[in-house]
Every structure is written in structure tokens, then in C-alpha cells.
Amino acid sequence: MGAFLLRRLILAIPVLFGILLVTFILGRLIPGDPCRALLGEKATAQTCDAYLKRKGLDQPLPTQFIVYLTNVLRGDLGDSFRYSRPVVDLLAERLPVTFELTLMASIFAVIIGIPLGIISAYRYNSALDVGTMVGANIGVSMPVFWLGLLLAYLFGVVLKGTPFALPPAGRLTAGAVPLPFYTLWGWVKDGQTPSNILVFLAQLNLLNGLLTGNLALVGDAFRHLILPAVAVGTIPLAIIARMTRSSVLETLGQDYVRTARAKGLYEFRVVTRHALRNALLPVVTVIGLNFGGLIAGAVLTETIFGFTGIGKTLFDGITARDYSLVQGITLVTAIAFVFINLFVDALYSFLDPRIRLG
Amino acid sequence: MDTAQPAAISLRPPREKVAIKPISIRNTVAICILLTMLVRLALIGLTALLDIVPAFGSINAPFKLLNSLTYLVALPAGIAIFLYDRTRGGALIETVTALFRKRVGTIGFVIVTTLVLAGDFAPQIATHDPILSMIGQPGEVGRLPGKAPCTAAFGCVEPQHYLGLDLNARDMFSRIIYGARTSIPIGIASVAFAITIGTLLGLLAGYIGGWFDNLIMRFMDVLLAFPSLLLAITIVTIQGPGLSNALLAIAIVSIPVYARLSRASVLSVKELEYITAERALGAAPRTIVFQQILPNILTPLIVQGTLGIGGAVLDAAALSFLGLGAQPPTPEWGQMLSEARNYVFTAPHLVFFPGFAIMLTVLGFNLLGDGLRDALDPRLNRN
């Protein structure tokens, strides 16, 4: 396992290098003078020259790329001029919001999508099956942002006052300020700046709530997560349900399933242990491939639900023409995407021992 | 008979008279409509595509003319294809019949046709000017922007607006109808662009192989490593917002899909005997690639492309929603949603209808793609 992961990591290096090269080139494609693009129209020639020199932008392109590479490797993604802060600090604060959201969305998609797919396959051509497939077709065609807005309207306005009402905006009820676990535990004294990793962890409301023992906070954060997670998770859910259905349908027709039935096993066991286990491989592939869609969904949904995750940050960055911010977010998500795919590959061998690692 | 010295060796059998199969009138009409719509879709895609490259302006002029003649061109062309195909054995007709045999494909086709027709005949269907504000118009004075739908059928006596008025007091119904003119061409054109470049790259990579294959495909891997919408967002941010830049960005990020698909098909077709035979006969590589390999790998590309149109429409709407695509006052569905998003609690109809239109378009192309997959290649039938 270790050797396999190591080999895959080494194989990922050229791709990571390529990603860096692409983001670098994208950064240089900004039309016009990069200095004026970054400092504004009113920058004088002197300030510009000084700025370009300080940022190493007066060097030839290959040198610039090496500078960019070393900066990224040192964890420096440049400064966001909209927020006047290093992009990395912004990411440490906001990436966890998106992380929490996409995680919830994929959990939602998997725990609903897989059972739905199994039942559809098992009751092939029944009303339930047809209904699920029609629903799945509509589900994959829905614009995420539209679904998000409709959910916000339905649960925030129509169902207001009923027990089904859910908060349509924000990560926590207004006014709630969660105490970061590092302050509670005395890891970081008042006035000190916590490291980015601690900030990242503390921003995960669910985790932070559990660590500080504040269950009310966990519940509140969870309620606020439901609507956006459903919005982001619907397309993956539809895809997973479709994939599970066709995959289970195929395994249900196999000889070993008939044998299992002939042995007199309970039907439930036949479906879950014999058919499903073997049907899961393509489903896992699809789940892995969907992370890109999840991230895209999060980008579009966060602006609707007022989550200050990287999606909202990206949106703000676009409106403000904050190139280093947009570039940094693209880079980080692409790298995350590569590692998620790596993880999915490793999961294969767990599901199907016949697949030799390596 | 002297057969010792044939003039030229050809693997193709001499053209024979094929028995023309009888075909019902209903099928004939359906097939002619479908072929007409295909020609129309191709025209839409071509003009939209040529429109974004300024250098092609002069080339585009004749196509624009064709486009303005729309069905005067598309209908005869559709019928001509039908007649030609009949004399040649009817392979196309068979595919189309297979498409209509499945409910999925038929529904998809009906949705797409309706939307395309709605876009083409928008001036006739729309009840108002999509860009003109109703404030101060006779009978409209004092209306609040974002007025709810008002239809006589539901007992509304005031000036009718089937889907209400938007925030600038413009008729929503007309804007939605005109929106089809923006979204569908973008979807088709970006896929057409991506398929052309992607297939070319995949063909060359698969056929030439070696370092060239490696170079191209590793670059495609890198592009695939980015979440596609995010890469598109970055490209448009840098290039500047606008419809044509959004179209290009969506096309660029979907190139790798087609490159991979066509490369994989080339690799499997390349080793088949008829290619070896063609090579032994001394055919030029260009002939082999474009005349022998390309036609044989088109099926999965067409299916993937049709399914890709839905995705492209969705992405274009998303970019417009973020303010990177169509700019106001263009009636574009994603842009309309973007304008109305802050008013979802007070004027939900402003959000509901444009989103529904997007969903319907994407659904139509997805179902059509599914139907085509079933019709063109039963082996690919996943259900």
C-alpha cells in the first residue's frame, strides 16, 4: 500500500507541475500591464517599476516561473489586493467552509443515491424505478444555483413557522461567535496569531463545536448546512443513483448471485454482500470524478447562502479583478482534485482485492 | 474476360443499386423534421462559432445569410438528405427510426425542437420587446417592478404578462423566449469547437503515437486536473467577461474529454485489418486518418457531444450567473437569475422561470443524447 501510494505520488508530480505551469501562464495572460492591473490605473511609472522589481516581474519569463514555483512551494500565493492580505491566510480561513459543505454534500449524495440506485435496480421497471430515473434525469439537468435559490425560498419563506423551516442564509445564527478550540485549550494566547492549520481546523464549525463541547453550536451549524448541501449534492446524487442502478442491474444477472440465492441466503444479504459489493467499483469512480462538480457547485451555491467559503471569495475576487486571489484558488482546488483522485484510486484496491496495486 | 490488369485497386465495392425499403408517411415526415432540425442546429452552431472570431467575419457572411433564411434552407436540406439517404440504403433513416422508437430520444427531440423553434420565432411568439421597460407604458403606470404573473385565463384583467414583469419592468415571458436565442447557440458552438479541436488532437496523438502522443495527452491530463467550471471562470476572468469569451472558455475546458475519447477510439481502430490493408495499398497517412479512421470513430463522439451540449448550456448559465457571461440587458437565462437572486424572497417567479428554462434545455439535450446513444450503438446501452 505504502509503495503504491508513493509511486502514485511520484506520478502525480508531472501533473502538479503542469498545473503550476498553467496557472502561471494564466496569470501572465492578464491583458495589459500587470502592474496597472494589480495596482490600479493611477499607479505612476515609478511605483510600477518598483513594484515590478519587488515582485520579480521585470525578469525574463522562465526566471519568473522559477520565482513563482519557489514562492508556491514556500506557501506564498501572493497578496490579495482586495483584502490586502496574503492569499494563503484567506484560504486557511475560507477553504474549511467549502470543505465542510462539499463533504456534507457528498455524504448526502452517497447515503441517498446508493440505496435509491439499489432499490431501482432491484425493482427494475417498477413505478419506483421509473420515478427514480425520471428524477435522476431532471436532477442532472438542474442548475445548482437555481436549486439553491428555490430551496432557500421553500424552506426560508414558504415553510417559515413550521417545524420544517430551515435557515436560508449564513453558516450560524446571526450573532453566534464560536470560540475556537485553540483559545479554549490555551494553545494560542490572546493577541497571538494562530497558525494557518489551527485556523483551518477551527473554521470547521462541526469539528470545532465537538472539540469545544458546544453541542448547540454543532446543531446550529448542521441546520445551516442542510440546504446548501442538498443543493450541491443533488447532481452527484442523481449521477450516483443512475450509476448504482445500472451497475447493480448488471451484477444481479450474474451467475454467482443465482448461486447465492440457491444457497438459500437471505435476499438482503444477496443484494448487499454479493451484488452491491461487486457493483460498487464504477460507483466509486463516479463519486471520485464528481468532486470537480462538487467544487463547482460549491462555488455557485456559497454566494446564494452567504457562506464565505472559497466560492464566495472567488466570486468577490472576480468582481474585484483580484487576479492573485483567483489564481490561488484555482491552483489550490486543482491540487486538491489531484489528491482526491489519488485517494479514489487507493480505495479501488480496498473494494476489489483483485486489482493489484501498482 | 480479361482481369489481368485492373486499372486501380480499390477496396470499396462498386456502387450497386440498393433496394429501397418502403417507409410509412408518418416516419417520412418525422425523419424529415429531424433532419431539418439537425441542419438548423448545425447552422446555429456554425454562425455562433464563426461569430466569436473576428477574422472569420467575411467567411461568416454567407452563413449569416443562410441563418436568416433559416427554414427555407434547413427544410429543403433536410428533405434532400432524406432522399439521398434513401437511395444509398437508408443507414441514416434507420438510426433516426431507432431514435424515435425509444421514448427517451423522442421526448428529448421534442424538447430541443420546441426550444429551437421558440428561439427562431421569438419575434412572433414574444408578446413584448424583451429589452424595453414597461414603466410609463399605457396601462402599466404605477406598476411595481417584479410584478407577479398575470394571465387572463387565471382571472387577471390587467395587461397580461404571462410570466410577470422583471425588476426593470420588462416582460418575463418575452425575455425567456428570447433567451433561447442565446443559450442554445452557445451550447452547440462551444461543443462544436471543442469536438473539432479535441478530435483533431486525439486523432493525431493516437495515430502518430510516441512522444507526440505523450506530450498532447499529458497536457490534456493537466487540463482535466482542474475542475472544469473553475478553469473556465479563471479564463474568463482574465480574458474579460462577455458571451464569446465564456463560449471559448467552456470550449477550451471540454477539449480534453473529446481528445481522450477520440484517441482511445483511434487506438482500437488503428490495428484493424482494413487499415492495415489500406496502408499496404500505399494510402497516404492523411487519407487513412481522415477518410478511414475518422468516420469509424464518430459514433461515440456524436453521443458525447450531444450530452456535452447540455453541460455547456449549464456552464454558460453558471458563468452568466457569476456575471462573466452575457451582460445586461441581453435576455440570457443565467444572467436573469443573477439579476433576480437577491429578490428570491419577494419575487420568486423571477427566479423560477429562467432556471426552469435552463433545466428544460439541458434535459432536452441530455435525453436526446441518451436516445442517440441507444440508437447508434446498442452496445453502449447502459440500462
DSSP per-residue codes, A247-313 = HHHHHHTSHHHHHHHHTT--HHHIIIIIIIHHHHHHHHHHHHHTHHHHHHHHHHHHHHHT--SHHHH
The answer on B60 and B187 residing in a single domain is no
Provide the pLDDT confidence category of residue B381 given band limits of 50, 70 and 90: very low
- Domain assignment present for residue B236? The answer is yes
The answer on B94 and B181 residing in a single domain is no
Query: Taking CB atoms and an 8 Å limit, are A19 and B324 in contact across chains?
Result: no
The answer on B78 and B178 residing in a single domain is no
Chain B positions touching A296 (Cβ under 8 A) are: 227-230, 318
Q: What mean pLDDT is reported for chain B?
A: 82
Residue with the three cell numbers 457531444: B305
The answer on B354 and B239 residing in a single domain is yes
pLDDT, mean of residues A85-110: 90
The answer on B190 and B96 residing in a single domain is no
pLDDT, mean of residues A156-184: 79
CATH assignment at residue B342: 1.10.3720.10
Q: Would the pTM count as exceeding 0.90? A: no
- Asked if A206 reaches chain B (Cβ–Cβ under 8 Å), the answer is no
Query: Can you give the pLDDT at residue A31?
Result: 67
pLDDT, mean of residues B98-118: 88
- Domain assignment present for residue B194? The answer is yes
Distance in Å, alpha carbon of B173 to nearest chain A alpha carbon: 18
Q: Choose the final residue of a domain: B74, B101, B128.
A: B101
ipTM value for the complex: 0.85
Residue B31 grid coordinates: 425523419
HSE, CB side, 13 Å, CA atoms: give it for residue A194: 21
Query: How far apart are alpha carbons A101 and A81 in whole angstroms?
Result: 27
The answer on B212 and B315 residing in a single domain is yes
The answer on B307 and B199 residing in a single domain is yes
Nearest alpha-carbon partner for B161 in B372, B353, B370: B353
- Domain assignment present for residue B139? The answer is no
For chain A, the farthest-separated pair of C-alpha atoms sits apart, in whole angstroms, at 85
The answer on B185 and B94 residing in a single domain is no
Query: Can you give the pLDDT at residue B137?
Result: 65
Task: Give the torsion through C-alpha atoms of B199, B225, A205, A184, to 10 deg.
Answer: -170
Provide the pLDDT confidence category of residue B340 given band limits of 50, 70 and 90: confident
The answer on B333 and B192 residing in a single domain is yes
- Domain assignment present for residue B46? The answer is yes
The answer on B324 and B218 residing in a single domain is yes
- Domain assignment present for residue B29? The answer is yes
Instruction: Flag whether pLDDT at B371 surpasses 60.
Output: yes
A155 secondary structure, DSSP code: I
Chain B positions touching A149 (Cβ under 8 A) are: 337, 341, 344, 351, 355
Strands A85-86 and A79-80: antiparallel
pLDDT digits (tens, 9 = 90+) for B209-254: 889 998 898 889 888 888 888 889 888 888 888 888 899 999 999 9
The answer on B96 and B202 residing in a single domain is no
Domain count, chain B: 2
- Domain assignment present for residue B119? The answer is no
The answer on B222 and B85 residing in a single domain is no
Query: Can you give the pLDDT at residue B1?
Result: 45
- Domain assignment present for residue B152? The answer is no
Of A15, A147, A156, the CB nearest to B222: A15
Show the domain range for B60: 25-101
- Domain assignment present for residue B153? The answer is no
Percent share of chain B, pLDDT over 70: 83
B147 secondary structure, DSSP code: P
Q: Choose the final residue of a domain: B101, B127, B145.
A: B101
Distance in Å, alpha carbon of B377 to nearest chain A alpha carbon: 17
Q: Choose the final residue of a domain: B75, B101, B127.
A: B101
